Amino acid sequence: MPILVLAEHDNVALKPATQHTVTAARKISEKADRAEIHILVMGQDAGKVAEAAARIEGVAKVVLADAPQLGPQTAEILAAQVLLQTGTEQYSHVLAPATTFGKNLLPRVAAQLDVQQISGITDVLSPTTFVRPIYAGNALATIETIAGAIIVLTTLSTGFDAAPIVETGAPIEPAKAIANEETGVRLVGRQLARSDKIELTAARIVVSGGRGLQKAENFQLLEALAAKLNAAVGASRAAVDAGYVPNDYQVGQTGKIVAPELYIAVGISGAIQHLAGMRDSKVIVAINKDPDAPIFQVADYGLVGDALEILPQLTAQL
Amino acid sequence: MKILTPIKRVVDFTVKVRVKPDGSGVDLDNVKMSMNPFDEIAVEEAIRLRERGVATEVIAVSLGSATCQETLRTALAMGADRAILVETDTELEPLAVAKLLRQIVLKEEPQLVILGKQAIDDDSNQTGQMLAALLDWPQGTFASKLEVAAGKATVTREIDGGLETLELPLPAIITTDLRLNEPRYTTLPNIMKAKKRPLDILKAADLQTEVTPRLKTLKVEAPHPRKPGIKVNSVEDLITKLRNEAKVI
């Protein structure tokens, strides 16, 4: 039976999270007689997205449901579209990225399928056995599902590399779009950050700031360092709570989980919930004036000192 | 208008849990338990809607062992009007919780159910969305702003890359994100008052709901520890190490 991956996109471009989810699907496929991987693209005028999805290595087919009612991508109608697809073709697994897109949509699908979803997996041990972090990453659970039912999973990008893009695309098959059900849900609008901002979960280097930066304006020092390193900017929950930066900067258990090559934590004490979001980074640098801050326990390189003095020096010397 | 706020009793967010040596789970003996922080935000939001005259009654509900009464009393001390405990010693998965909550919703007929977006123990982030699916209600997840008027909920959602605003017809499901509000502290007089508020106890078995676990936890282990790091003395030293030793810049 094939494996279905739900594509994340904005009707214009495919989000890289989808490539990571395809890698998880390939890991399942390798252990399940090379089951085919299909991608479902749901949107409006999303042909370009379908073409991009078709070029992800390992994808056998893209199913494109393209209709005006799918454009706003609200959970109610997308869930109905996924159910239409799982009713049309039998799948062994349905996967989506554990981003706000997947987190919002997939449990709605799982409940309608009467299936207990497994959220945020980081490894595939067999087609029915998966590893996922619990308790803010302080424990890893190995979970087995009951065989027989369709398996519904969200995948953390930190557990799976992005599947490469290839030259020749897989076939794209149009799907019948779900009728425009009167859900009554209306998308009023979206306020999105600049599109040139490097996405946290996809960045090779992340620089994050905490309460130690003392005020919102001081995040400009961090932005300057990020620009120099071509890095994404993150923040601790404390910095978000203090109103220094918007919530989508948040790295941690309740924000984004990242695992870049280099993570630089500036003025971050290292609360459990923050460590949960970055402890799998390859190299961790901590800059903090408190030599006993817990962040130093996970840091490969620690520098004790005032973040506001060190940041400009670091930016200047790079 | 009634608002239902389901709450979960979890390990306090300040506790660093330890994995049991036999790999069967995490050690919860003598560990401080509290209301899930996102559920506190849900209770606070419901109470504020009542204080603004939008809602008339706030009902807190929890599912689990008898000890959850303590957590429900916290919700009552914050200002919930009454509480319901669905008592069970079976470990409940999110789908089972959503199914039991559906029964409570059908009985109480609230116009809004406000839940935390995720519990900080299993980090599943599923229950609200599942309840919405089972009731065939619209959902506004990860809310950072909520307005309720004229039979509609206008909810601003925290999404990757920014914010999204949705308008949902009532009844609806809302799940809370961090910035929705800052929950109030409970005061001693309110804790005393809360003791007199009604707390009904139902047996999960009486709700005729299939709650058998669908998943099996084979083992729980500690994450791989990181190699101990070093302290550097200067910015120059740090840059040299990152270039020549770690080779990441």
Per-residue pLDDT tens for B135-147?
999 999 999 999 9
Give the closest residue to A130 by CA, choosing from A101, A99, A105, A159. A159
Regarding whether A248 and A167 lie in a shared domain, the answer is no
Local structure of A188: helix, strand or coil: strand
Indicate whether A196 pLDDT > 70: no
pLDDT given for residue B226 in this prediction: 86
Cβ pair B123, A136 in contact under 8 A = yes
Q: Do A252 and A305 sit in the same domain of this protein?
A: yes
Tell me what the mean pLDDT of segment B183-210 comes to: 95
Q: What is the pLDDT of residues A88-142, one digit of tens each?
A: 999 999 999 999 999 999 999 999 999 999 999 999 999 999 999 999 888 999 9
DSSP bridge partners of A142: A131, B219
CATH code assigned at B84: 3.40.50.620
B39 contacts chain A (CB < 8 A): no
Lowest-pLDDT choice from A64-73, A181-190, A263-272, A307-316: A181-190
Instruction: Give contacts of A129 with chain B, Cβ < 8 Å.
Output: 218
Question: Do A269 and A170 share a structural domain?
Answer: no
Looking at the domain assignment, is residue A148 inside a domain? yes
Q: Is position B16 within any domain?
A: yes
The number of folded domains in chain B is 1
- At residue A183 the predicted structure's pLDDT band, cuts being 50, 70 and 90, is confident
* Min Cα separation A210/chain B (Å): 16
Picking from A174, A192, A227, the residue at the C-terminal end of a domain is A174
* Preceding amide of A246 cis, omega within 30: no
Helical pair B94-108 and B127-135, crossing angle rounded to 10 deg? 50
CATH number at residue A157: 3.40.50.620
Residue A238 contacts residue A211 (beta carbons within 8 Å): yes
CA-based nearest distance A100→chain B, Å: 6
Q: Is residue B72 part of a domain?
A: yes
Integer Cα distance of B234 and A260 in angstroms? 23
Assigned domain for B126 exists: yes
Per-residue pLDDT at A222 exceeds 90: yes
Nearest CB to A104; choose among B129, B222, B242:
B129
Residue indicated by tokens 């890095």: A231
Contacts of B60 (CB under 8 A, 6+ apart): B5, B6, B7, B43, B72, B75, B76, B80, B82, B83, B84
* pLDDT, tens digit (0-9, with 9 covering 90-100), for B55-68: 999 999 999 999 99
Q: Is the pLDDT of residue A254 over 90?
A: no
Question: What's the domain range around B35?
Answer: 2-216
For residues A168 and A32, state if they share a domain: yes
Q: Are residues A237 and A289 in the same domain?
A: yes
Half-sphere exposure of B91 (CA within 13 A, CB side): 9
Q: How far is CA B151 from the centre of its chain?
A: 25
Tell me: do A147 and A83 sit in the same domain. Answer: yes
Query: CA A16 to CA A218: how far, in whole Å?
Result: 30
End-to-end CA distance of chain B: 58
Whether residue A185 is contained in a domain is answered as no
- Torsion region of A150: left, alpha or beta (phi above 0 gives left; psi -120 to 50 gives alpha): beta
- pLDDT tens digit string along B66-121? 999 999 999 999 999 999 999 999 999 999 999 999 999 999 999 999 999 999 99
Chain-centre distance for alpha carbon A69: 25
- In A128-187, the residues whose Cβ lies within 8 Å of chain B are 129, 133-146, 149, 183-187
In which band, very low, low, confident or very high, does the pLDDT at A76 lie, cut at 50, 70 and 90? very high
Cβ contacts of B231-236, under 8 Å, gap ≥ 24: B231/A291, B231/A296, B231/A301, B231/A302, B231/A303, B231/A304, B232/A301, B232/A302, B232/A303, B233/A303, B234/A303, B235/A303, B235/A310, B235/A313, B235/A314, B235/A317, B236/A317
A101, A137, A141, A122: which is closest to A23 by C-alpha?
A: A122
Total of domains in chain A: 2
0.90 exceeded by pTM:
yes
Q: What pLDDT score does A50 carry?
A: 98
Whether residue A113 sits in one domain with residue A223: no
Of A106, A140, A174, the last residue of a domain is: A174
* B78 inside domain: yes
Relative orientation angle of helices A75-88 and B127-135, to the nearest 10 degrees: 80
CATH of residue A223:
3.40.50.1220
Residue A106, helix vs strand vs coil = helix
Q: Give per-residue pLDDT as tens, A164-175.
A: 999 999 999 999
Same-domain pairing of A153 and A219: no
Q: What is the pLDDT of residues A255-296, one digit of tens each?
A: 899 999 999 999 999 999 899 999 999 999 999 999 999 999
Examine the domain organization and report whether A139 and A235 are in the same domain: no
Same domain (yes/no): A159, A204: no
Going by pLDDT thresholds of 50, 70 and 90, the confidence category of residue A194 is low
Which range of residues forms the domain containing residue A71?
Answer: 3-174
- Please check whether residues A93 and A221 belong to one and the same domain: no
Is the domain of A16 the same as that of A157?
yes
Beta carbons of B160 and A99 less than 8 Å apart: yes
A115 touches chain B (CB under 8 A): yes
Top-confidence residue, A195 or A202: A202
Given this model, what pLDDT does residue A248 score? 86
Give a yes or no: residue A47 inside a domain: yes
The yes-or-no verdict on residue A182 having pLDDT over 80 is: no
